[in-house]
Every structure is written in C-alpha cells, then in structure tokens.
Amino acid sequence: MSNVNLIPYTVQTIIKSTKEIPPGIQLINAPTSWDNGYKGEGIVIAVLDTGCETNHIELKEQIFDGRNFTTDDQGDPTNFEDYNGHGTHVCGTICATKNDNGVVGVAPNAKLLVVKVLTEKGYGETKWVIEGIRYAMNWRGPNDEKIRIISMSLGSSEDSPELHKVIQEAVKSNILVICAAGNEGDGNHETNEYAYPGAYPEVVQVGSVNLKKEMSKFSNTNTEVDLVAPGEEILSTYLNNEFAVLSGTSMATPHISAAAALIIQQCEQEFERSLTETESYAQMIKRTVELDFSRRYQGNGLLDLSIGFTSKSHQDGELTVTK
C-alpha cells in the first residue's frame, strides 16, 4: 500500500489576531453569494487532512463530528486534533464563522466533518485515506445529514487503484470529491505533473492562482485540471487560536470545496430538488471565468460566485457538463 503526504505548502506569516474577509475569498466573490442569502446552511463538508484545532474560536461551532484514522494519540479514533496546522487552515477557508473577529470562510454556515488521515508530520498511509473516505460516505448526522462534499489537500506520486475505486464509489453516491492539483509544477504548461488523487478524472482537480489572477508557478499542469482558485498568500485560521498566511494548491482547494456548498444550497433552493453530483459539478463550471492561460493550467478557469446572480438561465436544471 502506498503512502500519501501533505502537498508541500509555505507558511508565510503567523498572525495573532485579525479582522477581515480574506482577499482570496473576496477574489472569488463569495460575499455576493452571502448577500443573496447563501452561506452554506445545511451542507456538511468532510475535510480529510491533519485534523482541526477543535477549540479555535472561529471553528469550534462549525465542527459537526470527526474521526482519527492515524497513529497520532495512540490511534485514538475520537481524537482528531490538529498538531500540524494545515488542516485547521483548510477548515478556516471553508467555514470560519462570520463574526466581528478573525476571518470568515467561504461558506460560514456550512459544517465540518473532520476526518484526520494525516499525522502531525503530514504523513499518511493510503489505507487511512480510503478508510476516511468510506467513513465520510457512510456518516449520518443526528437529522440524517449526509456528506455532500469531500475536500482533500493531500497527494501521492503513486496511483493507487484501491484509492481510485473508493473515490469512484463516493462520486457514484452523489458526493463531490474536490482535490488539490499538487505543487510540483515547473511553470511550463506543456509538461504534465500528476499528484493522486487530484489527477483522477472523477474528482474536481483544483489549480492555483495568485491574488492578481496570475497562475501560480508551482501549480501542477495536466489535462485533468478542472478549475483554479486563489492559492497564494491565503489568510486563514491556524493553531493556538491564531491565523496564518499560507500558499499552495492546498489553499486553493478549500475555496472550491466551500463554494460548492454555496452553489448546491442556491441551486437546490431554486430547483426545489436535490442536485446530482454531475449537476453540482456543472453548476460550478458555469461559474468560471476563463483566464489567458493554457487549459492545462486553469482547466475551465477561475471560480466567480457572482456569476450565479447575473442570470436566471441556469434555473432550467438541464445540465450536460461532464468532467
């Protein structure tokens, strides 16, 4: 069985306190969605990562449940605490609560299922990820809530048929699986760099741009990239009730995972029915803006949540976009 690791990322600054909407969240126009009444209510997102700081002021009310599949804390399954910082940062971008302090996430009213599959050192076994995905697929909340989105900012250079199979099962069970493209990019769009599970065609593979909408040189390029989001100088929650600025496709991914919650909430309210995984993906892609870069870099382009409020044409619900 192969191993997986945190996709390498850069910690640029640690900040004790702040009070702002992070620039990356503004760049994808999440506030437009909030202003129209969509903040992710009723959507539970499974985050497979290093865990989450459960007492962080911005996150403690957002955590619905969780489980540890690693050897940290002697393998105690009930302890999904984050000792690395990466998972807490990802969780904050997804749904840090909207209050008068700290930061706010893309979907501030969504909830988290924290699935710890990476240790304090950022190392994991592929079987932990497989077990974590199965746990997320089978999880039910007190009111029979189900996971709609799985977010994974992790990767391996090795293709695992077992991991691929369980992801296919998750997608068939109507879960959007959203993964980081990886940070092995060489700045040349003509070369392919693959990190798994991001490179599997069934997942939503997320590349990175900076806050000027320029492609991140580290972002993997390949024909399976679906879209891009901000991944450089991303401000979010961090250990010890603090905040940090990090960079990597790991940081782009939760922007998309949380945006999917807003899109699903909006469309299901408008269509008055549940969306399939294929429809959720199609609605996401309809909210992209093509940039002046190769499709191997950007896929369909940069996510822009304001697009969903410029036209009512998407309400017909007839969707044909496929990955």
Q: What is the pLDDT of residues 61-71, one digit of tens each?
A: 999 999 999 99
Q: Contact at 8 Å (CB) between 107 and 258?
A: yes
Annotated active-site residue 49? The verdict is yes
- Burial level of 39, CB count in 10 A (0-12/13-18/19+)? buried
Closest CA to 319 of 277, 289, 290, 288: 277
Q: Contact at 8 Å (CB) between 12 and 233?
A: yes
Q: Which residues pair with 233 in a beta bridge?
A: none
pLDDT at 100 over 90: no
Mean per-residue pLDDT of the chain: 92
Class of domain 3-308 (CATH, top level):
alpha beta
| Whole-number Å distance between alpha carbons of 204 and 184 | 18
Q: Contact at 8 Å (CB) between 208 and 231?
A: yes
pLDDT at 315 over 50: no
pLDDT at 152 over 90: yes
Annotated active-site residue 73? The verdict is no
Per the residue annotation, which of 49, 72, 82, 226 is the catalytic one?
49
Annotated active-site residue 257? The verdict is no
pLDDT at 56 over 90: yes
| Whole-number Å distance between alpha carbons of 185 and 37 | 38
Higher pLDDT, 100 or 203: 203
Closest CA to 91 of 125, 134, 61, 127: 61
| Whole-number Å distance between alpha carbons of 49 and 162 | 19
Q: Contact at 8 Å (CB) between 117 and 129?
A: yes
Token match 């961090």: residue? 238
Percent of the chain with pLDDT over 70: 95
Grouping H, G, I as helix, E, B as strand and the rest as coil, residue 82 is coil
pLDDT at 312 over 70: no
pLDDT at 243 over 60: yes
- Residue range 84-98: average pLDDT? 97
Per the residue annotation, which of 153, 216, 250, 257 is the catalytic one?
250
Give the tokens for residue 156.
């391996």
- pLDDT at residue number 214: 96
Contacts 24+ apart (CB under 8 A), 285-290: 285/226, 285/227, 285/321, 286/314, 286/321, 287/259, 287/263, 288/227
Q: Contact at 8 Å (CB) between 91 and 80?
A: no
| Whole-number Å distance between alpha carbons of 208 and 231 | 5
- The radius of gyration of the chain from alpha carbons, rounded to an integer in Å, stands at 17
Helices 249-271, 86-95: inter-axial angle, 10-degree rounding: 30
- Residue range 260-288: average pLDDT? 97
| Whole-number Å distance between alpha carbons of 175 and 166 | 12
Per the residue annotation, which of 56, 86, 89, 255 is the catalytic one?
86
Going by C-beta distance under 8 Å and a sequence separation of 6 or more, which residues neighbour residue 225? 181, 205, 206, 207, 295, 296, 297, 298, 299
- Burial level of 123, CB count in 10 A (0-12/13-18/19+)? middle
- pLDDT at residue number 318: 40
Give the tokens for residue 249.
């496709």
From the centroid of its chain, how far is CA 43?
13
pLDDT at 204 over 70: yes
Give one word for 290, left, alpha or beta, with left for phi > 0 and alpha for psi -120 to 50: beta
